[in-house]
Amino acid sequence: MLRPAAPADSPALVALAAATGVFQPGEAEALLGGVLDDLHAGRLGDGHLARVWADGPDGPPLGWVYFAPTPKADGVWDLWWIGVAPAAQGRGVGGALLGAVEDHARAAGGRVLVVETSGTPAFDPVRRFYSARGYAAGGRVPDFYADGDDKVIYAKRLRGRV
Ligand SMILES: CC(C)(COP(=O)(O)OP(=O)(O)OC[C@H]1O[C@@H](n2cnc3c(N)ncnc32)[C@H](O)[C@@H]1OP(=O)(O)O)[C@@H](O)C(=O)NCCC(=O)NCCS
């Protein structure tokens, strides 16, 4: 089941993010812990949301997603973070989280959802995950995250063109 992230979830969400192996040790707390604190304190502005997936109302978070509308364009939303606990990957949690983001953005008038990820071979499964759900790679910034580690920008239209 999906529910809004609560302040009490933050340590588990940071630990979950660290367990996915995307961050260097310490980075998850510094990057995501601070974002969650700002989110719950209302410092990130309107529309910033985090959702958690758990197997039941009292279950620990198995996945989470953080997203927001961009102030730079009308109807465009950014998916800032999505992560699923390694032991729970491959059973539809990520797809459910991504679908919930799309539904929310669409209901709020969103036209386009944008997500950025790494172009390295280690992220092949992640890029396949987005491609299989209708996201198209629309840009690439060479050496963005590090030399040899490109940023790949994916986007999906959430509604037809008017
Ligand atoms: C990408 C991620 C969120 C997908 O979540 P998930 O719960 O495994 O996704 P689902 O079960 O809904 O879908 C699985 C699909 O994702 C892909 N996938 C990515 N990583 C996977 C993994 N470790 N195990 C199984 N499938 C994985 C597969 O291509 C699979 O495709 P299929 O449905 O055609 O078989 C998750 O693997 C994850 O947390 N990765 C590490 C964190 C990360 O890189 N986040 C994205 C940063 S941009």
pLDDT means per 10 residues, the chain with 162 residues, are 94 93 82 93 93 92 96 96 96 97 97 97 97 97 97 97 80
Per-residue pLDDT, 27: 85
- Which of 13, 14, 55, 89 most suits a substitution to test ligand 1, by most atoms within 8 Å of the C-beta? 89
Per-residue pLDDT, 143: 98
Per-residue pLDDT, 157: 98
Q: How many whole angstroms separate alpha carbon 117 and alpha carbon 13?
A: 19
In three-state secondary structure terms, 76 is: strand
Q: Whose C-alpha lies nearest to ligand 1, atom 46?
A: 82
Per-residue pLDDT, 112: 98
In order of their start, the domains of the chain are 2-157 (3.40.630.30)
Tokens of 20: 């996915």
Ligand 1 atom closest to Cα of residue 89 = 8
Q: How many whole angstroms separate alpha carbon 26 and alpha carbon 147?
A: 21
| DSSP codes joined into one string, 134-157 | T-EEEEEEEEEEETTEEEEEEEEE
Per-residue pLDDT, 14: 94
Look up residue 119 and give its DSSP letter: -
